[in-house]
Amino acid sequence: MTVIKVEDVTPLGRGGGVVTIPLITRQSAEEENLITTGISTYPVGTGAPLHSHNCDEHVTLLEGLAEVEIEGAGTVKLVPHDTTYVK
């Protein structure tokens, strides 16, 4: 089991005002992990460019409104607590 204390994690500036607190990563997990997760804050009107990952990704929208575009699924509007899981 891995426990990550958010106050012990250094936030990463990603440009354009986007900030991520990486939680479960290969570096933080005590055993091999197949998923990454963290907390990202996006200023209104910003977003991540289309991209891919070398692991699974889980995202839960905590507040605000968002849209996610997933290959093969089109664009989906999200509201708080909606969750995505991408393999």
DSSP letter string, 8-72: GSPPEE-STT-EEEEEE-TTT-SS--SEEEEEEE--TT--PPS---SSEEEEE--SS-EEEEETT
Separation of alpha carbons 3 and 31, rounded Å: 12
Tokens 């989906």 belong to: 76
Q: What is the mean pLDDT of residues 42-48?
A: 90
For the segment 47-87, what is each residue's pLDDT rounded down to a tens digit? 888 888 788 888 899 999 999 987 777 899 999 999 988 87
Domain layout of the chain by residue ranges:
6-86
